[in-house]
Amino acid sequence: MNLIFSLPSQWVELIGYFGSFLTSITFIPQVYKSWKSKSVGDLSIWMVLIVITSTIVWLVYGFAIQSGPVILANTIVFILTLVLLGFKLSFPKSK
Amino acid sequence: MNLIFSLPSQWVELIGYFGSFLTSITFIPQVYKSWKSKSVGDLSIWMVLIVITSTIVWLVYGFAIQSGPVILANTIVFILTLVLLGFKLSFPKSK
């Protein structure tokens, strides 16, 4: 762990931004796949609802600590999971 | 925003822990649903792979900034998404 702890702070910040970037794009392939297939039967609506709720909480946190990466990542995830929720509610349940 | 910015720091920390908690449990309903149905055709493997990658990045970040909530949440999400990846690779592709 000492190796990690002793990383220069710019590196740490960069790693944070990279994590933030990956989190932001997480739901892009899912939205794309769901849109193409018009099939979301295997997706848990609870997962989607928890993600939406958590992004709202993280946004409040992000604004409170004024963290750009937290605000940006969660705004994008919030929008993408709202889209997934829309799919979940509107696509036919045929499976 | 001033309302949020002026939150007491204990509140902010509590909100962070709450977000962390919600993120931790995000994939529990998905793992449960996938296990019950043995059907993961609608799940994007790219989403799963991005989440696994991002949790590794966040874990490095969490250890670097020594943030308990970041480490805990991402350890749990990492394990749950590894399980989902196992489902994705082992369940039949019948759809």
- Distance (Å) from the C-alpha of residue B13 to the closest C-alpha of chain A? 8
Q: Which residues of A touch B70 (CB under 8 A)?
A: none
CATH of the domain at A70: 1.20.1280.290
Supply the pLDDT for residue B7. Answer: 81
For residue B3, tell me if it sits in a domain.
no
Number of domains in chain B: 1
Cβ-proximal residues to A23 (8 Å cutoff; 6+ apart), any chain: A73, A77, B54, B58
* Chain CA centroid to CA A20, Å: 9
Q: How far apart are CA B30 and CA B43, in angstroms?
A: 10
Q: Which domain holds residue A59?
A: 8-90
pLDDT at residue B94 above 60? no
Q: What is the pLDDT of residues B2-58, one digit of tens each?
A: 555 678 888 888 998 999 999 999 999 999 999 999 999 999 999 999 999 999 999
Q: How far apart are CA A69 and CA A8, in angstroms?
A: 19
Note whether B5 contacts A64, CB cutoff 8 Å: yes
Q: Choosing among A34, A40, A44, which should be mutated to test the B contact, i.e. which has the most B CBs within 10 A?
A: A44
For residue A2, tell me if it sits in a domain.
no
The ipTM, to two decimals, is 0.84
* Chain CA centroid to CA B13, Å: 19
Q: How far apart are CA B42 and CA B60, in angstroms?
A: 31
Q: Which residues of B touch A61 (CB under 8 A)?
A: 12, 15-16, 19
For residue B68, tell me if it sits in a domain.
yes
Supply the pLDDT for residue A2. Answer: 55
> How far apart, in Å, are the Cα atoms of A14 and each of A8, A44, A93, B53?
10, 33, 42, 15
Supply the pLDDT for residue B57. Answer: 95
For residue B30, tell me if it sits in a domain.
yes
- Distance (Å) from the C-alpha of residue A27 to the closest C-alpha of chain B? 6
For residue B1, tell me if it sits in a domain.
no
- Please tell me the pTM assigned to this model: 0.86
For residue B64, tell me if it sits in a domain.
yes
Tokens 């604004």 -> residue? A63
Answer with the residue of higher pLDDT: B27 or B1.
B27
For residue A71, tell me if it sits in a domain.
yes
pLDDT by residue, tens only, chain A of 95 residues: 555 567 888 888 899 899 999 999 999 999 999 999 999 999 999 999 999 999 999 999 989 888 888 899 999 999 999 999 999 999 987 54
The count of other CB atoms within 10 Å of the CB of residue A60 is 19
For residue A1, tell me if it sits in a domain.
no
Q: How far apart are CA B86 and CA B84, in angstroms?
A: 5
Note whether B12 contacts A65, CB cutoff 8 Å: yes
